[in-house]
Amino acid sequence: MRESVRVMIPEAEVDAMIEEMGQKISRDYEGQELRLICVLKGGVFFACELAKRITIPVSLDFMSVSSYGAGTQSSGVVKIIKDLDDSIEGKNVLVVEDIVDSGRTLNYLLDNLRSRRPKSLALCTMLDKPSRRVVPVKVEYTGFEIPDEFVVGYGLDYAQKYRNLPYIGVIEFSE
């Protein structure tokens, strides 16, 4: 089997979306400070680009979670691999994710973060596959809604590969 990647969203379109989202976030939180929580590893490319385009004071923290599940399905049973370095109590928190799929992982993560009593808690995601949703998740900022296809690039992986592609692509297999 040979793998190849077809471009779904070119780099320039992703970058333009992030620029626009950064401006909107800067307006929405004007006069305040924002703690960006990047969900590793997939969210890291998007979070860095987004942070560069936000003009209000921003601090960054990172969290890594793994979702137990069979194959490509996440189960909603989530293990924290790396927790935040700092408390978020009383802070404006924006979670930065690569993609919302079933919503199970984020549903757990948002509940967990809410229990730490932030001043506000919101979610932004580069991609959303709404047709796959099993658990409802409130998303404040969505980059692109995409159909139910397995995507890679801009942080997203297939077996840990392709995260470094500067665009969003779909894997195709051929003999």
Is residue 54 within 8 A of residue 38, CB to CB? The reply is no
> Residues for the chain: how many in total?
175
Q: Which residues have a catalytic role annotated?
A: 101
At which residue do the structure tokens 């297939």 appear? 158
* Token representation of residue 154: 């801009």
Query: How far, in Å, CA of 40 to CA of 37, rounded?
Result: 9
The answer to the question of residue 96 lying near ligand IMP (CB under 6 A) is: no
φ, ψ of residue 95 to 5 degrees: the values are: -85, 130
* Token representation of residue 73: 């399905």
Among ligand IMP, Mg ion, none, residue 104 binds (CB under 5-8 Å by kind): ligand IMP
Among ligand IMP, Mg ion, none, residue 128 binds (CB under 5-8 Å by kind): none
Answer for which of 14, 21, 156, 165 binds ligand IMP (CB under 6 A) is 156
Instruction: For the CB of residue 119, give the shortest distance to ligand IMP in the complex, in Å.
Output: 25
Query: How far, in Å, CA of 43 to CA of 30, rounded?
Result: 24
Binding mask 79-118 for Mg ion (x = CB under 5 A): -------------------x--------------------
Question: What residues line the site for ligand IMP (CB under 6 A)?
Answer: 42, 67, 74, 97-106, 150-151, 156
Which residues form the interface with Mg ion (CB under 5 A)?
42, 98
